Amino acid sequence: MGFLTEVERLQLRIESMILHVVSNEEFDPAPAQVVQHAGFFLSRILDTDVAPVYQFKEVSRSRERLEEMAQGAITFEHGAQELSREFSREHGNTARDGAFFIFELRTDDEDVRIYSLIKYDYREAIEQADDGDGETLLRKIVHAFIDDKKAIQKAALIRVVDGQAEPLLATRDRTRVAPEIADYFAKFLDVHRISSDEALNRKMVDALRETFTECKDVLPRNDVPLALRRAKAVLRDRQEIDEDAIVDAVMAAAGHPEQEDTKDLLRKRTMQKLRAKRLAGLSFRPDRVLLRKAPMRKIRTTEGVTILYPDRATKVRRVVNPGGAGETITITTDLIVEDIVVADNTR
């Protein structure tokens, strides 16, 4: 949907995993775990699959460590222990205690390794644990995760191809307003953000425009600009924009169609455009300046003609006549929706 390809989502499997407790206590390296609860953890990993808005810096210790693991220069266990130690060090005393997992995942492509890094809340699990045995702790944590769907606090997905990590990675952080991540998590990963909220909003508006253009036949009065204005107005007032909010805005702009095939068409096209714009799975803040209602421009001529239209409308063209004597105004329309005679009340 976002970072992973559809083929990867279907073929993904866990090859190795390791678990460490991160807190204000001294880091204690643990051995790699035998893969357990694979189906459960795969589902949680897929929940972290979002379009990337962060990129590795030119120098990244975390990226280099993952590349060494993928190349076989160091074992998964040794590399994951070092990564977990560094995460625990950056985690410090201010962040909430948690369980830090690293998963090495494979697909049918032998040249590809995908690494999932997830920090889970574990307070409930630790309180329930009867002993310090790793297997018991893992069972308790899984039980706690099932009880709380919001247990994932931080996550990253990295793809390594032929031993080289790709620059872009998927990231999530429940403690920050999406798609931002905490400073210590960004420092641990050695990444920087490459897409601003404004840029994400612009891509979203483009996705909406393309969706409405392709679904013009099911829109009220077949009016694409009107649908776009309505969708932008709905999203402008949201605290956060995500896939569900965008789909809801599209449905509202289309007049809340009752036919299931129409709703399916709008939903399908919207998701296609979001994936194409690399917005799948993302949440971000609305840019209220970009989403504001376009101001209206009013023209009144000496001939008694009045024209009212959205400023910057692309289908209204004004050209100054040769010699500067007046203008030629051309309006190109897909459909005239009203054409009536209005009484002159000034007489």
Q: Greater confidence, 182 or 129?
A: 182
CB 244 within 8 A of CB 18: no
Residues 251 and 269: their CA atoms lie apart, in Å, by: 12
In the chain, the percentage of residues whose pLDDT exceeds 70 is 87
Instruction: Label residue 129 by pLDDT band (50, 70, 90).
Output: very low
Mean pLDDT of the chain: 88
Q: Give domain limits for the chain.
A: 6-193, 197-276
Chain segment 167-189, per-residue pLDDT in tens? 999 999 998 888 999 999 999 99
Q: Greater confidence, 333 or 149?
A: 333
Question: 309 — alpha (psi -120 to 50), left (phi > 0) or beta?
Answer: beta
The angle that helices 260-276 and 243-253 make with each other, rounded to 10 degrees, is: 130
Q: pTM (2 decimals)?
A: 0.78
Residues 6+ apart with CB under 8 A from 308: 296, 297, 298, 299
Strand, helix or coil for residue 222: helix
pLDDT at res. 126: 46
Of the listed ranges 24-33, 137-146, 194-203, 285-294, the least confidently predicted one is 137-146
